[in-house]
């Protein structure tokens, strides 16, 4: 469990948290979601939360290049689904490079495979041969109500979807993205990884006029999962718990080396949990721009001052996560993993 206590707002924010605008799933009315991810240790744990929570209904899962190359992230996705017993979910592989830039991957965090630290089962899932964008478009058309997109990696697939299928914007209720940073980045001083890898895609998505929640490092770096969680998982005696405990142990190496933290930031699972757990995140309504220049590539420039936004002709149309209830998140994550036998 994290020693960092939830910080409800950055010190520079002069007003209370804003109300959430993202939809919230309930047991009585599960929220239909499509997950786009680049597994990745935190992506795998986010999938565990998504399939464990009865408040969420996963329509499909797609892969994008990010934490590792596309063949690796797609295989990691399908292996994680096999571990979770999600054998019938529809899956597809998407973009293998960012829109206009070379791919940047993160073996220094996730290992060469993108999911080092444990041996996962053979891949599964119902493969959609036409690819990720076509699968997302198909699922949106089939849905009886607008769907929430949950991108947990670079936004390449989502940007291509919006470019190629503008007629489907009305079928997207919300985009809940794990990415961005107000303060310190984790690739550069300015940029969070997902935004840095494909800032051009992020700029397209933020300009699309679709409601967005940006679950950024300013929240996820306050939700650390460590030794106490691994002990609970080790004690469970189930294969999923053992594998996730081993994945957490490997993931912790980076956080110890980089930050000297005793635990790991499971970023992507925070974004998924936000759609099932009320009051998990503290949010501010803000306008967000994505920097495309080289010096601050991928910086998510966040402005929450109403008077200044009015002068610029901008509206605070993004919910930006600036704090998290770390203890609640830790329980949500471990309980989700323990639900798989």
Q: Which helix (H) or strand (E) holds 37?
A: strand 31-37
Asked whether 207 and 311 are in contact (CB, 8 A), the reply is no
Asked whether 310 and 291 are in contact (CB, 8 A), the reply is no
Q: Say which of 41, 267, 274, 285 is annotated catalytic.
A: 267
Return all residues near 12 (Cβ < 8 A) that are at least 6 apart.
none
The span from the CA of 23 to the CA of 276, in Å, is 9
Phi-psi region of 98 (alpha: psi -120 to 50; beta: other; left: phi over 0): beta
At 175, phi and psi to the nearest 5? -120, 120
The span from the CA of 229 to the CA of 334, in Å, is 6
255 is catalytic: no
Helices within the chain (DSSP H only): 41-52, 70-84, 107-110, 132-142, 156-164, 193-197, 199-206, 217-220, 227-236, 239-259, 267-274, 306-312, 326-338
**Residues carrying an active site annotation:** 267
């Amino acid at each position: 469990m994290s020693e960092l206590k939830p910080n409800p707002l950055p010190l520079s924010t002069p007003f209370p948290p804003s109300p959430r605008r993202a939809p919230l799933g309930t047991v009585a009315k599960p929220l239909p979601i499509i997950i786009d991810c680049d597994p990745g240790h935190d992506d795998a744990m986010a999938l565990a939360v998504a399939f464990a929570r009865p408040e969420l209904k996963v329509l499909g899962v797609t892969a994008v290049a990010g934490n590792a190359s596309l063949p690796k992230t797609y295989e990691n996705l399908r292996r994680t689904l096999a571990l979770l017993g999600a054998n019938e979910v529809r899956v597809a592989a998407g973009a293998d490079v960012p829109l206009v830039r070379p791919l940047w991957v993160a073996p220094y965090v996730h290992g060469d495979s993108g999911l080092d630290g444990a041996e996962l089962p053979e891949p599964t899932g119902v493969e959609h041969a036409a690819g990720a964008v076509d699968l997302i478009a198909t699922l949106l058309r089939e849905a009886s109500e607008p769907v929430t997109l949950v991108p947990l990696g670079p936004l390449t697939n989502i940007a291509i979807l919006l470019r190629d299928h503008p007629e489907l914007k009305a079928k997207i209720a919300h985009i809940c993205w794990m990415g961005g940073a107000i303060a310190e980045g984790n690739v550069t001083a300015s940029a969070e990884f997902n935004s840095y890898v494909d800032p051009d895609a992020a700029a397209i998505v933020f300009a699309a006029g679709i409601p967005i929640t940006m679950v950024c490092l300013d929240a996820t770096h306050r939700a650390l999962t460590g030794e106490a969680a691994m002990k609970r998982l080790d004690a469970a005696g189930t294969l999923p718990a053992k594998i996730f405990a081993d994945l957490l142990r490997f993931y912790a190496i980076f956080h110890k080396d980089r930050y000297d933290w005793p635990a790991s930031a499971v970023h992507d699972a925070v974004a998924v949990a936000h759609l099932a757990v009320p009051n998990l995140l503290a949010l501010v309504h803000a306008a967000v721009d994505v920097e495309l220049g080289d010096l601050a590539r991928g910086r998510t420039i966040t402005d929450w001052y109403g008077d200044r936004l009015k002068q610029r002709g901008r509206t605070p149309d993004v919910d930006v996560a600036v704090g998290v209830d770390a203890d609640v998140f830790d329980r949500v994550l471990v309980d989700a993993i323990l639900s798989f036998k």
